[in-house]
Amino acid sequence: MCSYDKYELAEKQLKSFTRSKIRTKVLLCLKDADKNVGELEQEIGSRNTTILHAIKDMSEADLITRSSKGYHLTNLGQMQAYLLNDLMGFAQVLEEHRDFWLNHDISGIPQDLLTNIGMLAQSEIISPDSSAPLKSQEHFVSELVKANEIHGVSPIIAPGYAEAIAIPVKNGATVELILTEAVLKIVNKEHNKIVDDLLAYDNFKLYRINEDVKVAFTVTDVLLALGLRYRLDGNYDLGSDLICYGGGAVMWGLKLFKYYQNNSEMITKL
């Protein structure tokens, strides 16, 4: 079945999601707790007659029922509310960081994670400027040394990276790195002593990946630093990173790390 045929089947449901701003607001207001009309009126900012009209339509669609506290989402209503919340996060990430997603190669991110980029809603772009050309790198290193857990994939080796990784490893942090064959050769040549020392620690694991990795990212226990290194104009972007915070971003990043880990092999020496 093609996507168009699927749309034909789902058209009514899809249109019901967003055809009424009031319906959408009621769904989202009831997502986490039951509320009465007065509470909904205060949160939404619309007249109670307008809200009651929307509630009537939603009740007939089996999205809302009455409860002891006012109104309650049915299972169908909860499912729609969760989906709407995800869609809003998705739209927010696309709009706030439009150029980042539009102008970079995103083929290094699996489709299921692209559809869930709403999990990265709490984020900011850190880019270099003329007065601080290494701004994103400095921010990245400062976060690394504080981390209790680090999972990273890199097709590049940035200045100070090996030294920065050594600090949390020696402080007891769990660290897993996936590097391309090309980067491992550079590491072996320029940072052999540091990496050999780290490989002696049980909390440090190093992996080799034999493919052209088009994304560079690091997940810690509190954030995700995501870099899309190839621009669609053919240039290489070393400096701009999307820094994402919160449990959702960390979970998203760990899933991306697992995707690359499944295509890698662990190594015990350079």
Measure Cα distances from 138 to 81, 161, 237 in Å.
40, 10, 16
Separation of first and last alpha carbons in the chain: 49
Beta strands in 104-148 (DSSP E): 123-126
Which helix (H) or strand (E) segment holds residue 90: the answer is helix 75-96
Question: What's the pLDDT score for residue 235?
Answer: 77
Nearest to 231, CA basis, from 99, 138, 90: 99
DSSP 192: H
Query: Strand 215-220 vs strand 204-209: parallel, antiparallel, or unpaired?
Result: unpaired
Amino acid (1-letter code) at residue 94: L
Question: What's the pLDDT score for residue 2?
Answer: 46
CA distance 59 to 73: 9
Domains detected in the chain: 3-86 (1.10.10.10), 106-267 (3.30.870.10)
Nearest to 172, CA basis, from 203, 197, 208: 203
Residues 6+ apart with CB under 8 A from 18: 24
Tens of pLDDT along the chain (270 residues) come to 445 456 566 666 666 666 678 888 999 999 989 999 999 999 998 888 999 999 999 999 899 999 888 999 999 999 989 988 888 899 999 999 999 999 999 999 999 999 999 999 999 998 765 444 445 566 677 778 888 999 999 887 776 778 888 999 999 999 999 999 999 988 888 888 888 999 999 999 999 999 889 899 999 999 999 988 788 887 777 667 899 999 999 999 999 999 999 999 999 887
Q: Say if CB 174 and CB 149 are below 8 A apart.
A: yes
Amino acid (1-letter code) at residue 218: T
Name the maximum alpha-carbon separation found in the chain.
Answer: 73
Q: What token pair was written down for 101?
A: 């997603």
Q: Say if CB 99 and CB 123 are below 8 A apart.
A: no
- Rama region for 215: left / alpha / beta (φ>0; ψ in -120 to 50; rest): beta
How many C-beta atoms lie closer than 10 Å to residue 115's C-beta?
10
How many C-beta atoms lie closer than 10 Å to residue 137's C-beta?
20
